[in-house]
Amino acid sequence: MTGRAILWALLLALAACAPFPPAPSKLAAVAAGKEALLLFRTEQVDDAGRITPMPLYGKWSPVLRWGGFNSAGRPVNEEAPTSLSADASREGWAVRVLPPGYYYLGVFEKVGAENHLRPVGNTWRAEVPRRVPVIYAGTLRLTVSKRKVLWFSESYVVRTPPRLVDESAAAAAVVARDLPDLPAPVTRLFVRQEGPILLGTPPR
């Protein structure tokens, strides 16, 4: 492989794992009230108790899978990580643009040489009612332990299920900074899924 080919391969690999902002057509649908921007954050607590952002596009980051009406609520769809900006991504913020409905989020960790996915805690339910353009669903804070995989690399191993934290003020600030044309987010926190799966459209 030539030097130029190696460079292109590296650039493609970086592009595959980098976040990207929602498409203009998606943001137009949010502004028109047809869909909603669902904002959430992931953070990690290390062995020393330090809290830092956990971006979702790193090789060793947890895997998020979503479900909805088409999957009968089972979190089986792995969505590409999206954020509002490069800064927001580094701060651990992620977004999805969704039509009204109930959505189900599962958090998984990679285990073993084959990177099998193991669920971490229960499924979370997000509720997207009609005519609410921006929703903050909460911050998922995971306690993690660092381990060596190879002599030159490290991975994070999730030790406990995520804890839901309300950072509404920070969510409003990041939307005002990165998407000032949109209204401030309405806080509608994730709900730990228990009981029957809800489908359809939630009330406001």
% helix, strand, coil for the chain, step of 5:
20, 40, 40
Q: What is the reported pLDDT for 11? A: 39
- Smallest CA-to-CA distance from 137 within 98, 162, 176, 164 is with 164
pLDDT tens per residue, range 173-185: 999 999 999 999 9
Distance of CA 113 to the CA centre of its chain: 24
154 burial level (CB within 10 Å; 0-12, 13-18, 19+): exposed
What are the structure tokens assigned to 150, written together? 């190879």
Confidence label for 107 from pLDDT (cuts 50, 70 and 90): confident
Compute the average pLDDT of residues 63-67: 85
What are the tens digits of pLDDT across the range 129-157?
Answer: 999 999 999 999 988 876 665 555 556 67
Q: Which of 17-26, 62-71, 115-124, 147-156 has the lowest mean pLDDT?
A: 147-156
Quick check: 142 and 42 in contact, CB under 8 A?
Answer: yes
Q: Where are the beta strands (DSSP E) in 68-183?
A: 77-78, 93-98, 101-111, 116-119, 124-128, 134-150, 153-158, 163-165
pLDDT at 113 over 90: no
What distances in angstroms separate CA 135 from CA 108, 141, 171, 189, 204, one per listed residue? 23, 18, 9, 9, 12
pLDDT of amino acid 161: 83
Distance CA 8, CA 23 (A): 24
Work out the pLDDT band at 59, boundaries 50, 70, 90. low
pLDDT-derived band at 3 (thresholds 50, 70, 90) equals low
Checking if the pLDDT of 115 tops 70, the result is no
**pTM (whole model) above 0.85:** no
Q: What is the pLDDT of residue 136?
A: 98
